[in-house]
Amino acid sequence: MLEDLIVKSIINDLVIRFSDNIIAIYGIGSYFDDSLPSGWKKNDLDLLVIVKSLEPIPMQEWTEVRYETHEINENHVWVGFNTVEAYQSKNNFSKESFSNYEWSLIELKHPTNSKLLYGKDIRDQLPETNDLKFDYENILARGLYHLEKSLSEKDSNDAKQEFSKAIFKTIYYMCIFLDPAYHKTSIIENGTHLKNLVKEDNVLEKMIDFFEEALIFRITGKYKNNLNDLSKEFISYLFNLLNSGALHREMNYQDLIDYLTKSFSGFPYLLREIKKLDLIKKDGC
């Protein structure tokens, strides 16, 4: 298959360039998720390379985090480099990666969430994930990051893609908020788990509707409803959940503004949208 050839060519290139420094290479994310329905368009190819040392790995001009990006046959390829030592603590990990520590550890530690593609499996050297303390604000922000990109994206197809990513990442955030012992990262598993966690009268059940919209898009390339209307509905729904305290913490209007402003490089498009929401009362904040 063409997909297999692409992965093999990337791995061969990595081995040629970094040879003995490589301990293992893992495939992570939806590209390597066998549970996804047939017809699912996979164009984000993420590889994680565990190395003995980061020193031989070239750096970007603006950060010490080692990673590469490529475009191969319409696939967006991301290659990240980490050491085993980085996973021993959140402080170590933050020096080597932009990713969320808890999410990344769960993804690599559990074989159902990632695939060993090359080298020696290092999962037994990683910390256990039973007692993780999740940084919910950071994990939620990763869903909001894609929502921001969807709002700012001029290309309609890219905007639709980013919106689906926002839904999937927010679903994961809700899963681990409701069930901190949950250790799956598969899109389908997350959606199924959330369905099992919420009841018919639960305010979070509406999230399943957004999840199904995103599933339909990933399979057919189309949403049932207009993306602009969907985005406004999702933004209103999500921020009112936060405003009401239904999620990991209650945020009043000013809290929400501060949270968006301080997350990543700020979310100007989301800030603009939240200021339009009539249901979020500014009185008394």
180-208 pLDDT tens trace: 999 999 999 999 999 999 976 678 899 99
Number of domains the chain is built from: 2
Tell me if 202 is assigned to some domain: yes
Do residue 186 and residue 249 come from a single domain? Answer: yes
pLDDT of residue 283: 45
Task: For 117-136, write each residue's pLDDT tens digit.
Answer: 999 999 999 999 999 999 99
Do residue 140 and residue 269 come from a single domain? Answer: yes
Question: What Cα–Cα distance (Å) separates residue 254 from each residue in 139, 144, 239, 243?
Answer: 20, 17, 12, 10
Task: For 199-258, write each residue's pLDDT tens digit.
Answer: 766 788 999 999 999 999 999 999 999 999 999 999 999 999 999 999 999 999 999 999
* CATH (domain of 14): 3.30.460.10
Q: Domain limits at 265?
A: 136-274
Tell me if 283 is assigned to some domain: no
Percentage of the chain exceeding pLDDT 70: 95
Tell me if 264 is assigned to some domain: yes
Do residue 82 and residue 187 come from a single domain? Answer: no
Do residue 209 and residue 234 come from a single domain? Answer: yes
Do residue 163 and residue 221 come from a single domain? Answer: yes
Do residue 25 and residue 67 come from a single domain? Answer: yes
Among 124, 159, 174, residue at a domain's last position: 124
Do residue 28 and residue 90 come from a single domain? Answer: yes
Tell me if 281 is assigned to some domain: no
Do residue 210 and residue 155 come from a single domain? Answer: yes
Tell me if 148 is assigned to some domain: yes
pLDDT of residue 25: 98
Do residue 167 and residue 210 come from a single domain? Answer: yes
Tell me if 222 is assigned to some domain: yes
Tell me if 129 is assigned to some domain: no
Q: Give me the mean pLDDT over the 271-285 stretch.
A: 67
Do residue 68 and residue 161 come from a single domain? Answer: no
Do residue 106 and residue 143 come from a single domain? Answer: no
Output the average pLDDT for the chain.
93
Among 124, 157, 179, residue at a domain's last position: 124
Among 99, 124, 149, residue at a domain's last position: 124
pTM greater than the 0.85 cutoff: yes
Statement: residue 282 has pLDDT above 70: no
Do residue 158 and residue 59 come from a single domain? Answer: no
Statement: residue 280 has pLDDT above 80: no
